[in-house]
Structure 1
Amino acid sequence: MDSVSDYYSATQLRSDRWSALREVTSEIARAPGNKISALDRARAQELFESLALIEPYWAFPGMAAFDHLRRQLDHNSFEDLAFGVHRVTRALTTGAYRRRRIPLERDNFNTQEEYDDEALLSPEARALAKPYFEVLIVDNVSEQQDHWLKSNVAKMRRPEDPFVYEAVVVPSLEDALIAVLFNHNIQAIVVRPGLVLKSRIDNEILQKYLNSAGGSDTIDAMKPEDYGPELCRLIGRVRPELDAYLVTERSVEDIAGLDLGICRRVFYNQEDFMELHLNILRGVEARNKTPFFTALVNYSKQPTGVFHALPISRGKSITRSHWIQDMGAFYGPNIFLAETSATSGGLDSLLEPHGPIKQAQELASRAFGSKQTFFATNGTSTCNKIVVQALVRPGDIVLVDRDCHKSHHYGMVLAGAEVVYLDSYPLNEYSMYGAVPLREIKHQLLALKAAGKLDRVRMLLLTNCTFDGLVYNVERVMEECLAIKPDLIFLWDEAWFAFARFSPTYRQRTAMRTSNNLRKRFRTEQHAEAYAKQQMELKDATDEDLLNTRLIAPPTSRVRVYATQSTHKTLTSLRQGSMIHVSDQDFKGEVEQSFHEAYMTHTSTSPNYQIIASLDVGRRQVELEGFEFVQRQIEAAMAMRKAISSHPLLQKYFKVLTAGDMIPEHHRQSGVTSYFDNEQGWTDMWDCWEQDDFVLDATRVTLSVGGTGWDGDTFKNDVLMDKYGIQINKTSRNTVLFMTNIGTTRSSVAYLIEVLVEIANELDDLLDDASKMERLSFERRVKNLTENYPPLPDFSRFHDAFRPDNVTPEGDIRTAYYLSYEESNCDYLELTGSLKDALDAGEEVVSASFIIPYPPGFPILVPGQVISQEILAFMLALDVNEIHGYRPDLGLRVFTPEALAALPKAKAIKTAAE
């Protein structure tokens, strides 16, 4: 049996343990004359003992049934045991326990139930079933009182209730924290006055879950009278989407001043079970609401006469057609019944929302922890342009991650910003960039301050997380930047990070969570004292001192944070469904009008209602089961890491890149180098996600494939896609990126591992049969991909014609962009011919356009940028088929020397030099 340390998650351990118990009990039941081996009995007992650590935190099968099964083993009732374990395992696998009671006795068995698999039900049948959840009751009670509590809760349930739930009872605060981290079915918590502090279960595996919820030190310091309120607060830290209900014997005055976290209501002394029941249902119903989706469904059922400009509305242009019936058959009628250009009839306008769209955005704001949330139906590219145009005025200086998505660069052009490009640290060995070190950001801010330009600095724009999965220490970046520029605006591009809100580990590095934390902390006396003390210490500090100090922001800092998220990339939404989340203290007074204008500028007057509805439903999903889905997503990626890293054949040709490979050591204060090690097993992610400058998103698995002799693009297209039907987005010269998402299954991971093993076997066979020259050719290809790699170029600089001075590096990208509109200002140079000759001759060559390899979609050249020898070498080494802005038939588009010389700034610089 696998060791417990082989498992990353308790839920995966639970699933596999039940499956293993089914196998061994079936084997025992088949033993002739009930003569079972001591080994089989020992295996069964060991599995029961392992499950006994986990089962107290789940409603099904429940501890009474679990203990009964254990007694059947002790009493040699092997057939009954095998039957009961089989029923439990199947119900857990199929989800049948969510719809009905599961009898574990053979005389209550109905053969029809054996095929009651939730996955086999039609979508209509599943939609009609009442959703199931579990309620956690925290109270240190006897077995008899436990039964009393559960029966009282059960008696309150009525046929007209919209949901079905079961109760789980645990005795202590520690058990409650473990339960909400183990059990994704829990949607509500009832905290009673009888709870104690410590769990009766003493196990090191459980300790890591307590650390994720706040740590043992925090818990040990609590006073008994504060256990209930503190539990509500701690649960709010790890699963803020849940509802808590506090039953207390303390006075109103004592409770009123406490931070009760996620507590929705306080009940005094003995609770009214019916009132509690109604509050539980009401709380879940509040998250289950989908105002716009519901309005759209209702609209589709209304008989209407269509006299507006959308022939496809109600499906009329399809049903009357003789030639496009296949489209109607493929999509079904509902999508067309819900198509309209009307904003009446119970619907709403995305541009001026007052009804269900407004309500849906407010619910999304609650779910993602923002102050305001806005929907977008044409992707995060448009969201980025909206935010930039709303906040940045011509001449404002913006610090931008050079490797950010192309939409930000185009946003700078539209806004007329003067751009300071920030360089990420390079990962030359894998032909990819990392992320921007905080020291680089502070250096640029201090240089601008010294030049007297800090008042013009408007925004810092960074990608979190990057395409390759690098995640910033968001709180540290924002606080240290605010220490230099207290009103700096932050735009975090979280296109790939929307799911992070629903993981306790990941959430702490999201823009919205961090902004809310900073706003609270800046108001405290402790922060004011710490700031005043540091200011005394830094009274005569040099810039170098400031670069080497962890700076504290002034209490008067304005926390102004925006996050753009591609909901469709990591959560449930139709393609191009995105959101803008706002946590800006000055939004109402300074930004609201300009934001509205920018939103109107970039948003279609005919937005797709299906996308809006999918955003509404996607928000509902993550509030009710986001924790479960994201947990499974991380589990799938961790299983992939372990399977590849520990397989001897795969190790010959592939390597999973670790945090140690992708993050320099001085940015990993925790010392964590890998989430999985063949010798030590799993590493707890919590420490590095709390401490390190950068961490690696575990859901992204970057695989080095240079050892196969194939470059990343060939491996992606010719091998994975064409031969095995495996789709991926991103490659580099010698890597491919596998991303898990909330839809990834363990079967998908198994198939990928199977494919990689088959590829490795084929390579083994190929090399076995290869001639000496063929083997030499293979070794040369491998060496070229793994050793002979071109260094990644930094941003060179803007040409002097587009810079205000030579003191700081900001450049006028808008002027350069529009200068290229006049064809006579531009020329084309061939990479290996005229361009190389010009650079070798020491000439200054300036790009006239964006040059963007796709994927990943960020520019290696922008208009107005001087082309360096390093950039040319990198372009020649690129291995992607799609490079936006580059014409292979003509070459690279550049400005003519005459066009540059004619610019006013160029003339002024020349005159000053003379």
Structure 2
Amino acid sequence: MNLQHDVKKLPSVSDYYSATQLRADRWSALRETAESMLVHGVEGRQGSKLLKTAETLLDALAPIELYWAFPGLHAFEHLRRLLDHRNIEDLATAVRRVARALTSGAYRRRTVPVGGDELDNEDFEDDSTLAPEDRALGRPYFEVLIVDNVNEHQERFLRNNLHRVRRAEDPFIYEPVVVPSLEDALMGILFNYNVQAVIVRPGLVLKSKNALPIIQQYLSRLNEDEDVDALQPYEYGPEACRLIAKVRPELDAYLITDRSAEDIAGLDLGRCRRVFYNQEDFLELHLNILRGVNRRYKTPFFTALKEYSKQPTGVFHAMPISRGKSISRSHWIQDMGAFYGPNIFLAETSATSGGLDSLLEPKGPIKEAQDMAARAFGSKQTFFATNGTSTCNKIVVQALVRPGDIVLVDRDCHKSHHYGMVLAGANVVYMDSYPLHEYSMYGAVPLHEVKHTLLKLKAAGKLDRVRMVLLTNCTFDGLIYNVERVMEECLAIKKDLVFLWDEAWFAFARFSPTYRRRTAMSVANTMRERLADAGYRLEWEKQQEKLKDADDATLLKTRLIPPPDARVRVYATQSTHKTLTSLRQGSMIHVNDMDFKGEVEQAFHEAYMTHTSTSPNYQIIASLDVGRRQVELEGFEFVQRQVESAMAIRRAVATHPLLRKYFRVLTPSDMIPAEYRESGIQSYFNADEGWSDKWEIWAKDEFVLDPTRVTLAVGGTGWDGDTFKTKILMDKYGIQINKTSRNSVLFMTNIGTTRSSVAYLIEVLVEIAKDLDDLLDDASRMERLSFEKRVSALVEHVPPLPDFSRFHDAFRSGGETPEGDIRKAFFLAYNEENCDYLDLDDKLVARLEGGEELVSASFIIPYPPGFPILVPGQVISPEILSFMRALDVSEIHGYRPDLGLRVFTAKALKALTKKSK
């Protein structure tokens, strides 16, 4: 018999990207092993192997279970004793109960007995399969981490007293987890996503005795940034609170101390909610824990909307669908009411009817919901939007940019930014991202390019006109900037620059300790603290002395730091609906601007009023409110699982021999040139070496690759990216994706991705690879040559990506710097007499190569790849024209094949040039 439970065949710890995956699979394997022992016994060679496997699994789980309330260390030790005494029947029953409860989430709703003599109804439902009404009626469950080095008797005392003060009317239910040390506390909050509160008691020690490698890697990461070993015992409690806030700022911490109030007052306690002085008032502690979680659980607008839907009203305003009246009275659209249900219509009302708060002038529940979102995302102000991040981008640009201001923009950013520049009348300097010619996609804008542009504008005496730097973080393909370094070095050149970070695809990043350090709001808060530090001025003065009379070449090579009086002015726009829970078009604007109140607030309000509908969708606003609640309470867990799913795809493609024949997941070394990868790390997973330390990459490198974005090179299949997406994945297998390039497709995991979804994707890719194998096995010589030719065209003969050429002189204020008036060009094209249309043929190529200047009158955006290769007022280069002619994409926005390429006439350009002179 081929035993599946042979210990040699168990995946090693190094095969797992995270401890949560390891835990789930080990419990599943333990259940299978225990059931096999029931069938085959524990005698003989086969039984001996099963016993060895069970012991190995329990050894692997032991250090992990320290951090979880269920099943708990006492129950876990009970399982060990059952195995030691060879009580296999009770062991199999207990392990089955634990494994099923962990999978189903049943332990969240009721007590699951582990002892074999305790009765249990094991036919419980998976938590995710329960009806929403049933799940909503249950009390949410969480766990509380208690940090105290206590013995078994003292631990039982703590648990019993917290259980004793529970009340039937409590809105939540929780279970305590007791760990002994500061290091264990940090590992616990990184590992156990159920933890919502931490109680730090005076008896804690510093070091953990836990030696499991996959857990120790968490600590090694923290020790890079924190000198934990230098702490004195009296500092352990306050430092634990501070580090908890640094790692998971959404958690509530409570410090119990025997030190005086005066001693505590001057210490940094992070986000400690309350300090208790040497007392055992468990009821007060219990009430504070519930109050703290309820603070995040509250959804002011969603709650107000639910209450409104219950009120009897008479509708005499301009919304027939309100209360569902126009549907319930209809004979022809009853199917719509049946499909959506009554609540969505009961919650419909007009903002002007007085039923609920107004998005345009929020003073009630919407205002409170926005304030809570600001707390969750680390901003000073947050504003909701119900028509997408495209509108958010235009609001911010219009509020901050005045006609004639110079704005530095990454050229391949979302088209809404380009249109925002038109509306604001900005003079745009387009900065080129580094190209990835082989995959027909752009990377990101190197910091050297940004600094060089600023220094060039400074030399031309135009630095005072430079208003904003606008960058996309992360890019659609997953490239993430070193946000802190970009802002520091730019502010060192101009101390009042405004930064707009387009985080449309990055809203989830706030809720992971790894990602958070590269988000706009987190960096803005860090910079505020650093600039305000008393010793920072000395650091800056030392660099200034060193750089005295330095030339631009030296400045470009030096990591610059901003002056102490630099202004932190940061904006981030996020598509909540893209990466978190929200209805479509639900987005947020986050503001962390030291000059917002004094300079921007009124202009921002006007821009917000300009672009926001007076009839916003209340359901979208409610979903933003609920989405905020979710990420404050379980965002850490969901983002962790999201990354795990993406890493599982990487490992599967890298290790499967058939998949490797036709597919390849692009690595950081494929998408980020070596000069921007200071860590030198090539990939997240290597079949020979295992996992790389992602923490090191994020700490050092100028650019990092978001692991949740899996770019799969498909050129080896002979299909281009668009065909593979549409004809294969979507039409044949029902797999939906957004982004493709000429020879790649992008899979994005999100907080809703399941392990089953990942398994299905891998199955599909294997089936596609098998079909290709079968096709080539039966192919004729000519068919094989045809296949190889298609592969070669996609892999080896990819048209090079063109750089931004320049704006025509008619749209520039001076030849020494590159900024152009895109608004002037955009509106010049409104008069058709100023425009002409040219065919993309050899004659046009000859005209360009002969030196004739042709200027685009439109935005030209091929899809894929989806970035503008021409903007109004841009000179058309031979390289851009060659790229357009080589594209075999399904659509090119702004280009009509029946008319040709839209350009300005020579007469229009000449007249404009004369007028500007």
Corresponding residue for residue 4 of structure 2 = none
Structure 1 equivalent of residue 501 of structure 2: 492
1:904 is displaced (CA, Å) by 3.8
Q: Distance in 1 between matches of 2:860 and 2:319?
A: 38
Q: What does 1:241-252 align with in structure 2 at a 5 Å threshold?
A: 241-252=250-261
- For 1:326 and 1:34, locate their aligned partners in 2 and report how far apart those are by CA, in whole Å: 64
Larger displacement relative to structure 2 (516-525 or 379-388): 516-525
Q: Is 1:325 matched with 2:334?
A: yes
Flag the 1:879–1:231 CA change in 2: closer, same or farther, 3 A. Answer: farther
* Counterpart position of 2:151: 142
Give how far 1:37 is off. 1.6
Alignment match, 1:777:
786
Counterparts of 1:473-488 in structure 2, within 5 Å, are: 473-488=482-497
Tell me whether 114-123 or 496-505 shows the greater mean CA deviation. 114-123
User: In the alignment, which residue of structure 2 is the partner of 1:798?
Assistant: 807
Q: Is the 8 A contact 1:214 1:234 kept in 2?
A: no
The equivalent residue for 2:325 is 316
Q: 2:661 aligns with which of 629, 639, 652?
A: 652
Q: Take 1:714 and 1:855, find their aligned partners in 2: how far apart are those partners?
A: 11
Structure 1 Cα separation of the partners of residues 841 and 250 of structure 2: 57
The Cα shift of 1:122 comes to 0.6
Alignment of 1:729-740 (within 5 A): 729-740=738-749
- Distance change >3 Å, CA 846–CA 145, structure 1 → 2: same
1:338-382 alpha-carbon deviations (Å, 9 max, x no partner): 011145555100000000000000000000000000000000000
Aligned to 1:633: 642
Deviation at 1:873, TM superposition (A): 1.5
For residues 424-439 of structure 1, the aligned pairs below 5 Å read 424-439=433-448
C-alpha separation in 2, matches of 1:160 and 1:89: 30
**Partners of 1:204 and 1:92 in 2: how far apart?**
23
**Residue 863 of structure 2 corresponds to which residue in structure 1?**
854
Q: CA deviation at 1:774?
A: 0.7
Instruction: Classify the secondary structure of the residue corresponding to 1:525.
Output: coil
Q: Is the 8 A contact 2:504 2:573 kept in 1?
A: yes
Conserved? CA contact 2:182–2:236, under 8 Å: yes
In structure 2, relative to structure 1, the CA distance for the partners of 1:767 and 1:33 (3 Å cut) is closer
2:361 maps to amino acid: E
CA distance in 2, matches of 1:731, 1:857: 9
Residue identity matched to 1:10: A
Query: Quick one: distance in 2 between partners of 1:473 and 1:568?
Result: 25
Match of 1:912 in 2: none
CA contact (8 A) 1:213 1:235 kept: no
For residue 112 of structure 2, what is the amino acid of its counterpart?
A: I
1:131 counterpart residue number = 140
| Matched residue, 1:501 | 510
Structure 1 residue aligned with 2:100: 90
1:33 Cα offset (Å): 8.1
Secondary structure, in 3 states, of the residue corresponding to 1:53? helix
Deviation at 1:31, TM superposition (A): 2.3
Q: Does 1:263 align with 2:247?
A: no
1:143-222 equivalences under 5 Å are 143-215=152-224, 218-222=227-231
The residue aligned with 2:622 is 613
**Structure 2 residue identity aligned to 1:154:** H
CA offsets per residue over residues 189-221 of structure 1, 9 Å max, x none?
Answer: 000000000111123322221134454862111
User: Which among 90, 100, 108 is matched to residue 80 of structure 1?
Assistant: 90
In the aligned structure 2, how far is the partner of 1:200 from the partner of 1:354? 52
1:856 CA displacement: 5.0
Residue 80 (structure 2) aligns with? 70
Q: Which residue of 2 aligns with 1:755?
A: 764
One of 13, 16, 25 as aligned partner of 2:25: 16
- The superposition leaves residues 789-825 of structure 1 with CA deviations (integer Å, 9 ceiling, x where unpaired) of 1111110000011011110000000000000000010
Distance apart, 1:110 and its partner CA: 3.8
Which blocks of at least 5 consecutive residues in structure 2 are unaligned? 1-9
Cα distance change, pair 57–844 in 1 and its aligned pair in 2 (3 A): same
Q: How does 1:383-422 map to 2 (within 5 A)?
A: 383-422=392-431
Identity among equivalent pairs (%): 74
Contact (CA 8 Å) 1:56, 1:62: kept in 2 or not? yes
Equivalents in 1 of 2:242, 2:399: separation in Å?
36
Query: Could you say what secondary structure the match of 2:898 adopts?
Result: coil
1:444-523 to structure 2, matched below 5 A, reads 444-523=453-532
Whole-Å separation in 1 of the counterparts to 2:513 and 2:444? 23
Q: Give the Å deviation of 1:103.
A: 1.2
In 2, Cα distance between equivalents of 1:793 and 1:665: 21
Secondary structure of 2:535's match? helix
Instruction: Write the mapping of 1:334-373 to structure 2, written as runs, cut at 5 A.
Output: 334-343=343-352, 347-373=356-382
- Residue 575 (str. 1) matches residue 584 (str. 2): yes
Once residues 343 and 211 of structure 1 are traced to their aligned partners in structure 2, the CA distance between those partners, rounded to angstroms, is 56
In structure 2, the CA distance between the partners of 1:187 and 1:905, relative to structure 1 (3 Å rule), is: farther
Is 1:212–1:504's contact at 8 Å kept on the other side of the alignment?
Answer: no
Equivalent residue, structure 1, for 2:7: none
The residue type paired with residue 47 of structure 1 is L
Q: Is 2:708 aligned against 1:699? A: yes
In structure 2, how many angstroms separate the alpha carbons of the residues matched to 1:114 and 1:328?
A: 35
3-state SS in 1 of match to 2:163: helix
> What is the alpha-carbon distance in structure 2 between the residues aligned to residue 298 and residue 547 of structure 1?
59
**Other-structure match for 1:670:** 679
Report whether the alignment pairs 1:39 with 2:49. yes
Is residue 473–residue 694 contact of structure 1 (8 Å, CA) maintained in 2? Answer: yes
Q: Deviations over 1:27-64 (max 9, x none)?
A: 11122586662111110000000000100100000000
The one-letter code of the counterpart of 1:418 is N
Match of 2:281 in 1: 272
Greater mean deviation of Cα atoms: 178-187 or 780-789: 780-789
Partner in structure 1 of residue 60 of structure 2: 50
Q: Which residue of 2 aligns with 1:104?
A: 114
Distance 1:617 1:649, change over 3 A: same
Paired position in structure 2 for 1:911 = none
Runs of 4+ in 1 over 6 A off after TM superposition: 33-36
- CA 1:234 to 1:33, structure 2 compared with 1: closer, same or farther past 3 Å? closer
Aligned counterparts of 1:118 and 1:572: Cα–Cα separation in 2: 19
Amino acid in structure 2 at the alignment position of 1:488: L
Does the Cα contact within 8 Å between 1:800 and 1:905 map onto a contact in 2? Answer: no
Matching residue of 1:872: 881
State the Cα RMSD in Å.
Answer: 1.2
Q: Give the aligned residue type for 1:584.
A: D
CA contact (8 A) 2:317 2:353 kept: no
- Contact 2:42–2:48, Cα closer than 8 Å, also in 1: no
2: CA distance, partners of 1:504 / 1:20 = 30
Tell me the residue number matched to 2:554.
545
- 1:115 CA drift (Å): 2.6
Secondary structure class of the residue paired with 2:589: strand
Offset, 1:834: 4.7
Q: Could you tell me which residue of structure 2 aligns to residue 743 of structure 1?
A: 752
Which amino acid is 1:51 matched to? L
Alpha-carbon distance in structure 2 between the residues aligned to 1:297 and 1:345: 15
The residue aligned with 2:240 is 231
* Contact 1:851–1:862 (8 Å) recurs in 2: yes
* 1:38 maps to amino acid: S
Amino acid at match of 1:46: T
Q: Distance in 2 between matches of 1:33 and 1:252?
A: 61
Given that 2:806 and 2:818 are in contact with CA atoms closer than 8 Å, whether structure 1 keeps it comes out as: yes
2:302 to 288, 293, 300: 293
CA contact (8 A) 2:721 2:740 kept: yes
Q: Indicate conservation of the 8 Å contact 2:825/2:873, yes or no.
A: yes
- 2:598 aligned residue (579, 584, 589): 589
Indicate the residue corresponding to 1:714 in structure 2. Answer: 723
| Whole-angstrom distance in 2 between the partners of 1:753 and 1:421 | 40
TM-fit CA distance, 1:877: 2.5
Is contact 2:309–2:343 with CA below 8 Å preserved after alignment?
A: yes
